Amino acid sequence: MSPIPPTEPPQPSPTAIFFAGWRAAWTSVFALVLIGTYVGVGALAHEYGFSVGWVLLSTLLIWAAPAQVILLSALGAGATPFEAALAVGLSGVRLLPMVVTLLALIKRPDTRPRDLILPAHLTAVSMWVEALRLVPTLPRAQRISFCDGLGIGLMVAAQGGGLMGFYLAAFLPALLTAGLLFLTPMSFLVSTARNARFLVDRLALALGLILGPLLAYEQVGLDVMWTGIIGGTCAYGIHRLRGALL
């Protein structure tokens, strides 16, 4: 007879973990922020004459409020699809390093690449910030299912907001739509600051806030991308230098 295996605690099923992520989404302040933000997106889409199906599909496929607002504003202002694609592509650069840091946190050596497609697609500032905060306390085996539940929960909240905004567009006062559009930069700033626990991340945030306006006003092409590369690299350099000196 084989020796008695050590008793292991029962493993929660992937479904149970998925719903733990789903619940985390709905208890997150981002559920509220996203509903508000997407009321603004839905109203903007209605204003420019897009259909409700188009709005829902754009949230499902793009899942990045700044990119959706850029696409709507560009097409609404009569830009060509090529110009709109360029503007959207430039705003999406941030998703690359966000996906890399998230996947490094959730994947295992034996994870199949196709299991990473869904968490990568669900990566957006809201999901990224909450995942980086919540996931490190979980066993690695649970992290992918948790992120899927978290991202889908947040996306459902956003879709609800988009629907409301689309049908309420005619009743929203201008001041309120301005306030809803302001939710994106305000929530991005404080949530990024909350997650910046290490010196290197705080430096990167501060340098980005200084470099961003400078490069934008100097009309340097690809200013957001350069802000990221220069600001992030300087912050990392200072972090390494400090490590070497201490």
Partner 1 sequence: MNSLAGLAPYLVLIVAGFLPNEIWRMLGIVVAHGLDEGSELVVWVRAVATALLAGVIAKIILFPPGGLADVPLMVRLMAMAVGFAAFVLVRRSVLAGVLAGEAVLVLGAYWLAG
Contacting partner 1 within 148-167 (CB under 8 A): none
Interface characters, 117-146, with partner 1 (x: CB under 8 A): x--xx-x-x---------------------
Inter-residue contact 31 to 25 (CB < 8 Å): yes
Tokens of 143: 């992290």
Piece of the chain touching partner 1 by CB under 8 A; list 1-9, 12-20, 115-123, 160-168: 115-123
Shortest Å, Cβ 148 to partner 1: 14
Q: Residue 91 Cβ, how far from partner 1 at the closest point, in Å?
A: 7
The answer to whether 171 contacts partner 1 (rule: CB under 8 A) is no
Specify whether the CB–CB gap between 161 and 36 falls below 8 A: yes
Among 20, 88, 152, 164, binds partner 1 (CB under 8 A): 88
- The nearer residue to partner 1, 81 or 139, going by C-beta atoms, is 81
Smallest gap, in angstroms, from Cβ of residue 14 to partner 1?
20
Residue 194 binds partner 1, judged by CB under 8 A: yes
Q: Kindly state the smallest distance separating residue 31's Cβ from partner 1, in Å.
A: 11
CB 41 within 8 A of CB 172: no
Within 10 Å of residue 19's Cβ, how many Cβ atoms? 16
Residue 225 binds partner 1 (CB under 8 A): yes
Q: Which stretch binds partner 1 (CB under 8 A): 3-11, 14-22, 147-155, 226-234?
A: 226-234
Residue from 17, 25, 34, 67 touching partner 1 (CB under 8 A): that is 67
Residue from 89, 167, 241, 242 that binds partner 1 (CB under 8 A)?
89
- Cβ pair 133, 10 in contact under 8 A: no
Residue 16 near partner 1 by CB under 8 A: no
Among residues 195, 36, 37, the alpha carbon closest in space to that of 130 is found at 195
Binding footprint of partner 1, residue count (CB under 8 A): 100
Which residues contact residue 87 at a Cβ distance below 8 angstroms, ignoring those fewer than 6 apart?
Answer: 70, 71, 74, 79
Amino acid at 20: A
For 171-212, the DSSP string reads G--HHHHHHHHHHHHHHHHHHHHHH--SHHHHHHHHHHHHHH
The stretch near partner 1 (CB under 8 A) out of 1-9, 146-154, 155-163, 205-213 is: 205-213
For partner 1, which residue of 100, 139, 241, 242 counts as binding (CB under 8 A)?
Answer: 100
Q: How far is 141 from 1, CA to CA, in rounded Å?
A: 30
Q: Is 73 in the site for partner 1 (CB under 8 A)?
A: yes
Alpha helices in 48-173 (DSSP H): 52-61, 65-76, 81-91, 95-106, 117-122, 125-134, 143-168
